[in-house]
A = this chain, B = another copy of it.
Amino acid sequence: MLTKAQIKYIQSLHQKKFRAETGAYIAEGPKIATEVLTEIPRQVQYVAASPAWLTAHACLLKDIPGERVAEVSPPELERLSALVTPNEVLVVLSRQDTAPWVLPEGAWCLALDDVRDPGNLGTIIRIADWFGVGFVVCSEACAEWYNPKVIQATMGSFLRVRALYTDLTAWLKKAARPVYAATLEGEPVTRLGELPPGVVLVGNESRGIDPGLRALATREVTIPRAGSAESLNAAIATGIILSHLVQD
């Protein structure tokens, strides 16, 4: 059973401020819980789950001290959860200390300017993972990587993709590799052929890429439109562009 203090602690992690202070975050749902318990068991602070889930996943929990595992009823899970529809299991994790990364030569990378929606950011991380793009550079105004909705939307891919939150302008200026900016006025991404690996720059959901950043692009790329929709969702556009650029 969770103590009142533990419940309060977990609920505090719904807020970015407390996630920053404590270095802890929440991951929810059976798929992601299974992945984090397998991949990063040492980071696990608490597991709160339905009796059925705990029984079915006993082998995943064998190295987690008993006092860190709590059986919860659906209403209890709902109180702990940061999601609209809580699902069986919630895990509290500590962030891993990771060495600062340097983008390897010849690696593709995503740069996100002000992608605010947590669902979009999480979906983009999942897409990056699908295409083997292991590095995402985010402007400071992007949704927070450890937001529970971001974690949820990654479906576990946050474990395999590395993030850097920084001043994108300064970073792009030093990147010393081609920058392909996703805009509505660029070259058709379907006709570019093979390009040298570089940075795919994606902008804010409604405003697109900041003009100062856009000026740093080597090329602008566009998904040709045959119909009438005004735009595509940022995650959809990222998926389509990566599928044309990153594919061998």
Residues of A within 8 A of B (CB): 84, 123, 126-134, 155-157, 160, 188-190, 223-233, 235-236, 239-240, 243-244, 246-248
Contacts and interface: CB of A to CB of B under 8 A. Distances in A.
A247 to B, nearest CB: 5
Nearest to A190: B247
Nearest to A161: B227
22 contacts: A84-B84, A123-B233, A126-B232, A127-B232, A129-B227, A130-B226, A130-B227, A130-B228, A130-B229, A132-B226, A155-B229, A155-B230, A157-B229, A160-B229, A188-B247, A190-B247, A224-B248, A226-B247, A236-B239, A240-B240, A243-B243, A243-B244
B123 A227 contact: no
Contacts of A236: 123, 127, 235-236, 239
Contacts of A130: 223, 225-229, 231-232
Contact of A243 (B128, B230, B240): B240
Nearest to A154: B229
A126 B155 CA distance: 23
A134 B239 contact: no
A159 to B, nearest CB: 9
Nearest to A206: B31
Interface of A is mostly: loop
Contacts of A160: 227-229
A135 to B, nearest CB: 12
Given A224-B247, A243-B240, A229 B190 contact: no
A133 to B, nearest CB: 7
Contact of A126 (B126, B128, B229, B248): B229
Report, nearest first, the 4 A-B pairs whose CB atoms are least far apart.
A132-B226, A132-B227, A129-B229, A130-B229
Contacts of A126: 229, 232-233
Contacts of A226: 130-132, 246-248
Contacts of A84: 84
A35 to B, nearest CB: 10
A227 B134 contact: yes
A38 to B, nearest CB: 13
Contacts of A132: 225-228
A146 B188 CA distance: 34
A246 B235 CA distance: 19
